[in-house]
Chains A and B, each alone.
Chain A
Amino acid sequence: MATQLLVAPTSEKSKVEAPKKSKLNRYLAFLTVGFLSFAILFRGKATLPLDRSSLTPFQVSLNSFSAWIDTNRDSNPIFTSFINVIRGSINGFVTFLQNLISQTGDTRSIPQIGWLGIVAIIGWVVYAISNTRIAIFAMAGFVSLGLLGFWQESMDTLALTLAAVSISLIIGIPLGICAGLYPKFERFITPALDFAQVMPTFVYLTPVTLFFLIGPASATIVTLIYALPPALRITAVAIKQVPWSSVEAAVSMGSTRMQALRKVQLPQAKRTIVVGINQTIMAALSMVTIAALIDAPGLGQVVVRALESLDVGRSFQAGLAIVILAVVLDRSTTAAASKVDSGTTSGTSHRTHRFVLTVLAALALAMCLISRALDWAGAFPGTWTVGSTIAKYANLWVAWFQVHFVTLTNDITDVVSYGLINPMQSLLTQSPWFITGLAFVGLGTIFGGKKLAAISAFCVVAIVGTGLWSDTMVTLASTLVASVITVALGILVGTWIGRSRRADRWVRPILDAGQVLPAFVYLVPFLGLFGATRFTAIMAAVVYAAPASIKLMADGIRGVPDTIVEAATAAGSSSWQMIVKVQIPSARRALALATNQGIIYVLAMIVVGGLVGAGGLGYLVVAGFAQENLKGKGLAAGLAIVLLGIMLDRITQAIAHRNSKEYSQSSH
């Protein structure tokens, strides 16, 4: 659900006068003391609380907007001639894909292509874009989807993902090229992208169904809103990376601007664009369960329905299928990207490759025909599945764990809640809004100068405008605690796997699973262990956010120049000294980036937290999805999350930016 490259491009531009380090520390100390003393002095004043069921005029006006859509759907020309056409064509596209790979028609007992045919085609495509090893891995992965007992559901999910991803790319890549070529356009579109990535999906589930009704079109569009920004952003970055000199060279040799784009910029940007495709696929897959709430077919349905009867085993079984699908698609596209990178092949091996491809294509075609002719190759044989066994053991294991550890986990919940969350929350919710707001503006000024101060001030005032300041502070408290845990894990595990390739190999699949496994799968066991508390929500956020921080930190540790490490070794540093004195300080920029991404990922899970007792903005968003008269309030809560997200993101980015600058200065 997250926002991998959120705003990454914008920070390059902001040229900031960085105050000297000692001065900075003095400013920070001053700000902290000032905030704390005023917060205590004015405790309980101007805290802007709002009852659960009360609405502000702004929230009421949002309510009437959605009522307007509802009454005008069939008469307004925007609907009849535009939106209904879009709905029709997307529905047609998805249905076509479903007929091809997942759904049986009225007259057929299997889809157009049976499972054997699909596995063969996947093998062929992956071989064509990457290599033999990954192709075999992909085929094994797809077979295991059938073994899990979810062949048809997986193919439904795949069909929907393919639809959303291809539309994302059709729109996102050209727009991304534009954004890469014209900075003005990029500045214009960036706020919209931020908005789309930080706005919780729950907020627009109901509006989308209002516009596009229930069905594949709505599911695709919900996924699209989230999956399109990475495609656009990364394409823009890719185009900008191409050195301007090579474009100028082409133009001076008589190419038109268009030719330069086609012959020079696009080929050089190709590898990064493939990375963008990869990110788009991952983002689309992370929407599987959310889209199921508005009847998107596929694996998400299984997860959501298993939650009804608290069937942890079955939701785990379906979650595993989603993870497998994600890992297969991720590894295939990553391998494709590095293949694009690794360039030339000799003439003979090229001819051999072509020959092999032809033979394999024929083979895949044969498999398709077989899958249409023979029953066992068409519908995945039910007797082969081991899914229910996995579900049974998962249930048993969770029950065992719960019985043996529940006292311990309850104690942990209490310690963290009383010791950390409660004081933090009472400080933030009891302070007057203008004091806390000024503290944010102060942070912005210290790290980013006037511009950032202005952005912070705008966000603070706008949050007050949504009428949900107090709820925002509740959410901020949990977000900060979750971020602290996330960053701590990032440093610990990131340093560990950054230093040891072997540890990395073992830990990385777990990190991938943490990022892709739908939160709904582990919510029930977490509820059993930690109760319906803010801490459960924090833990769910950490599971989702820590992998990103860990990966970034590990990259940073690995990026520490060998010369520095060798010099330290020669000077007789112990491992501990090496880590604390050399590697972590040198990876400071990575650490700041890990913090930034940690917070953004935590924010992405706020709404899920609302489902398990976190209260705050997350709960309001969920309630807005569920109840007619709270719709406007939910929408306002979504806005507040976006504003909070943008503010925290900009501030932490400014910190990251400063750190990298300092590092580059000190290492010169």
Chain B
Amino acid sequence: MLKNHRARRAATYVLLAGAVTLTLSACSKTQSASSPTSTPTSASTAKCGTVNLADNAWVGYEANLAVVSYVLKNDLGCKVVVKNISEEISWQGFASGQVDAILENWGHDDLAKKYITTQNVAVDLGLTGNQGIIGWYVVPWMATKYPDILDYRNLNKYATMFKTSESGSKGAFLDGDPSYVTNDEALIKNLGLNYKVIYTGSEAALITSFRTAEAQKKPLIGYFYEPQWFLAEVPLKHVTLPPYTAGCDAVAAKVACDYPPYALNKIARVAFMNSGSPAATMIKNFQWTNADQNSVAKSLAVDKLTDDAAAKIWVDAHPDQVKAWLKA
């Protein structure tokens, strides 16, 4: 009996505390409204409002995002909401109105068709200025020691060196994050190479593998791409494949040529572009080079700066370029 009584008491207290908290929160609205939080540097606060930016999980994207949101916040007084989501879910966000812009898009013809052409909810905002390269790479020490390894025709000669516990009797070829576009299995088959694709399953696994292989001077070959901050730490060497010609990758199972060069672009939500927000114009104007992106990416990944700190360094060094982005 006593126990029950006590429990009821405790419950009353909890309820009471809850009620007090609620009252508190109700009266606080007026109280703290008078204390301003942050002071935007520009007068255009009212015009910009909230911008929802997708954040895809690689550092090059992160660099674009850092600089764009820094400029949006500091020069236009926008409230930037960053959504950490994968590429496909980002595109989904155009349809649901939850994402305003993707700042570095790698191809994705299927998604472009679905959301730009068919549903008409997204629009191509033009190039970021970054050139994307996808291809086969080896650790740099091997390129120095065996220069002819950089031609795919000589890869079979070295296949046994690349053998690991995972690859059976063949050489191991490493693939990374499953969301990236790869033709590697078809390439190996169609070029008659004695290798087996090992699906590491994540970018972290791929980069760590390259990093340890270079440090220990162990052989490693795999899929990689530029621009990528890791190349500043370990400059992987690109292996040439049969050159890309338009349409040579049309049938996935028959691909026997290199990856196409990617001109990376920005995608935005149609309604956001029509809203007249100055942020829309700024994102449309945003353009820079691979070197620019790499320098910010390095601040983020190697020097471990926060997004804003890394962006500030670059923005302070390039005032004219930022000014050009802000022009209506």
Tell me, rounded to whole Å, the shortest Cβ–Cβ distance linking A99 to chain B: 7
Residue-wise, chain B 12-46 has the 8 Å CB interface mask toward A (1 for contact) of 01101100110011001101110101100000000
Q: Which residue of A lies closest to B166 (CB)?
A: A533
Q: Which residue of B lies closest to A613 (CB)?
A: B200
Q: Does B145 contact A (CB under 8 A)?
A: no
Chain B binder among A4-12, A16-24, A104-112, A580-588: A104-112
Q: Decide if B33 touches A107 in the complex (CB within 8 Å).
A: yes
B174 and A308 contacting across the interface, CB-CB below 8 Å: no
The distance from the CB of A378 to the nearest CB of chain B, in whole angstroms, is 10
Instruction: State which residues 592-646 of A face B: CB under 8 Å.
Output: 610-615, 618-619, 622-623, 625-630
Q: CB within 8 Å of A: which of B161-205?
A: 164-166, 174, 177-179, 185, 197-205
Task: Decide: B301 and A309 in contact? CB cutoff 8 A.
Answer: yes
Q: How large is the interface on A (under 10, 10 to 19, 20 to 34, 35 or more residues)?
A: 35 or more
- 0/1 string, B83-122, CB within 8 A of A gives 1: 1111111001101101100000000001100000000000
Mask: chain A, 412-430; 1 = CB below 8 Å from B; 0 = not: 0110011001100000000
Chain A interface mostly: helix
Residue of A nearest to B17 (CB): A361
B161 to chain A, nearest CB (A): 15
**Is residue B209 within 8 Å, beta carbon to beta carbon, of the partner chain?**
yes
B-facing residues in A31-75 (Cβ within 8 Å) = 51-53, 70, 73
Q: Which B residues from 241 to 258 make CB contacts under 8 A with A?
A: 252-253
In the bound complex, do residue A531 and residue B212 qualify as a contact, i.e. CB atoms below 8 Å apart?
Answer: yes
Instruction: Compute how far the CA of A437 lies from the CA of B26 in the bound complex, rounded to whole angstroms.
Output: 64
Given the interface contacts A112-B24, A613-B199, does A534 sit within 8 Å of B166 by beta carbon? Answer: yes
State the CA gap A100–B229 with chains docked (Å): 39
Chain A residues with Cβ below 8 Å from B205 are 523, 527, 532, 611-613
Is B211 at the interface (CB under 8 A from chain A)? yes
Separation of A614 and B229 alpha carbons in the complex (Å): 26
Stretch at the interface among A121-129, A153-161, A181-189, A323-331: A121-129
Query: What are the residues of chain B within 8 A of A210 when measuring CB–CB?
Result: 92
| A residues near B88, Cβ cutoff 8 Å | 206, 626-628
Q: A128-B13, A615-B199 are in contact. Are A527 and B204 (CB under 8 A)?
A: yes
Q: Is A560 an interface residue (CB 8 A)?
A: no
Given contacts A121-B17, A294-B85, contact A532 B200 (CB under 8 A): yes
Interchain CB contact (< 8 A) of B165 among A293, A372, A533: A533
- Knowing A113-B21, A610-B201 are in contact, say whether A361-B16 is a contact too (CB < 8 A): yes
Q: Are A209 and B89 in contact (CB under 8 A)?
A: yes
A292 interfacial contact with B, CB 8 Å: yes
Task: Report whether A353 and B164 are in contact in the complex, using a CB–CB cutoff of 8 Å.
Answer: no
Minimum Cβ distance to chain A for residue B295 (Å)? 15
- Quick one: given A314-B304, A364-B17, A368-B21, are A304 and B28 in contact (CB under 8 Å)? no
Cα A532 to Cα B205 in complex, Å, equals 6
Q: Contacts A209-B89, A619-B201; is A100 near B3 (CB within 8 Å)? A: no
**In the complex, A344 has a CB within 8 A of chain B:** yes
User: Which interface residue of B21, B57, B89, B198 has the most chain A CB atoms within 10 A?
Assistant: B89
From A109, A110, A304, A344, contact of B3 by CB (8 A)? A344
Q: Which A residues between 250 and 273 are near B, CB-CB below 8 angstroms?
A: 267
The SS class assigned to the B binding surface is helix
B198 touches A532 (CB 8 A): yes
Candidates A125, A304, A422, A533; contact of B14 at CB < 8 Å:
A125
Q: Across the interface, which residues of B come within 8 angstroms of A414, CB to CB?
A: 165
Known: A372-B24, A532-B174. A611 touches B252 (CB 8 A): no
A532–B206 CB distance below 8 A: yes
By beta carbon, the residue of chain B nearest A300 is: B84
A612 and B86 within 8 A (CB): no
5 smallest CB-CB distances across A and B, nearest first, come from A626-B179, A417-B165, A309-B301, A623-B178, A532-B200
A307 within 8 A of B: yes
Interface residues of chain A, those whose CB is within 8 Å of chain B, are 51-53, 70, 73, 99-100, 104, 106-110, 112-113, 121, 124-125, 128-129, 206, 209-210, 213-215, 267, 292-295, 301, 304-305, 307-311, 314, 343-345, 347, 350, 353-354, 357-358, 361, 364-365, 368-369, 372, 402, 406, 413-414, 417-418, 421-422, 523-524, 527-528, 531-535, 610-615, 618-619, 622-623, 625-630
Residues of B within 8 A of A612 (CB): 200-202, 205
Which residue of chain A lies nearest to B58 when distances are taken between CB atoms in the complex? Answer: A308
Given contacts A53-B252, A532-B174, A622-B178, contact A304 B208 (CB under 8 A): no
B274 within 8 A of A: no
Any A CB within 8 A of the CB of B47:
no
Best-surrounded residue of A53, A527, A610 (most CB of chain B within 10 A):
A527
Chain A, Cβ-Cβ closest to B61: A308
Distance to closest chain B CB from A79 (angstroms): 12
Give CA–CA (A500, B301) in the complex, Å.
46
Q: Is the CB of A350 within 8 A of B25?
A: no
5 contacts between A and B (CB under 8 A): A292-B84, A308-B301, A309-B302, A531-B164, A622-B201
Q: Which residue of B lies closest to A618 (CB)?
A: B201
Check if A305 sits within 8 Å of B17, measured CB to CB.
no
Contact residues in A for B302 (Cβ distance below 8 Å): 309
> Complex Cα distance A577/B86, Å?
57
* A-side contacts of B62, CB under 8 Å: 308
Q: Which residues of B contact A418 (CB under 8 A)?
A: 165
Which residues does chain A contribute within 8 Å of B177, judged by CB atoms? 626
Cα distance A619–B37 in the bound complex, in angstroms:
46
Q: Which of A73, A368, A413 is in CB contact (< 8 Å) with B24?
A: A368
- Cα separation A422 to B187 with both chains bound (whole Å): 26
Residue of B nearest to A392 (CB): B304
Q: Which residue from chain A places its CB closest to the CB of B218 in the assembled complex?
A: A410
Known: A113-B21, A613-B205. A413 touches B179 (CB 8 A): no
Contact for B201 among A124, A369, A528, A611, CB less than 8 A = A611
